[in-house]
Amino acid sequence: MPIPAKPVIGVIACNRMVEGEAALTVKARYVEAVQKYAGAIPLICPSIDDAAQAETIISRLDAILLTGSNSNIEPSRYGAETGRAPFDPNRDGMSHALILAAIAARKPVFGVCRGLQEINVALGGTLVDQRDGGTIEHPHHAPDGVSLEEMFGFGHEVAVEPGTVLAEVTGATRLPVNSVHYQMIGALGEGLVVNARAEDGVVEAVSSAPDASPILAVQWHPEWRPDNRPHDLAFWRRVGEISRD
């Protein structure tokens, strides 16, 4: 029997300065997760100032993955007056267009950390920042100045909503997750279903409603050394399965 073709998953890039000049970058762990754990072919999608090409880009992909980043979404995109730099306006524009183009084409959209936030904003939701105060009881990011290992070692448990995609994927009611974010969902975007929450109510995972275009996104980082975390490996397997479908 012929070997089924691997799906091609677009992985969005960020705009960074490298050696004094503008560059489009993707952290290797996202590409490796798509290749190694999802069993798919990663294809880097540049966040260029030409979001009108999103429909053409999506037509050549089986799915799109929106990664985490050190940048925040510009506040004007979700109706806020102030926000915290750094920003990446070209990524904001391209990710927004890719999400809407993928939904229109009924192709899967996956999100990690900033990616979850991008999906929420594209569907009309809002964001809040824990550093601005409010009702968030527990920190969702390690203190400033710690090592990378300590940053990704910081975490908490989430409660998985019964009957959701994440509950089906992991077979769990509670999960230990890393927590590397200051921004989080405020108002939920249209058509999104909450799949998990932290103890303080922060939304930690979302999916699309049944029979809608596939969406699955988490606020934590399942790509960070997932080998000893069955639920993160299960997340990537589902990414591959949905993309193949």
Active-site annotation holder among 113, 140, 156, 204: 113
Q: Is 161 a catalytic residue?
A: no
Residue ranges of the alpha helices (H) in the chain? 28-32, 54-59, 89-104, 114-122, 148-153, 165-170, 230-244
Q: Which of 140, 156, 181, 221 is catalytic?
A: 221
Residue 56's SS3 state is helix
Residue that has been written with the tokens 């910081």 in this structure: 154
Instruction: Tell me if 107 sits within 8 A of 98, measured CB to CB.
Output: no
Out of 14, 118, 204, 223, which one is annotated catalytic?
223
Separation of alpha carbons 155 and 176, rounded Å: 7
How far is Cα of residue 232 from the mean position of the Cα atoms in its chain? 13
C-alpha to C-alpha distance for 160 and 144, rounded to whole angstroms:
29
Give catalytic status of residue 223 as yes or no.
yes
Residues assigned a catalytic role: 113, 221, 223
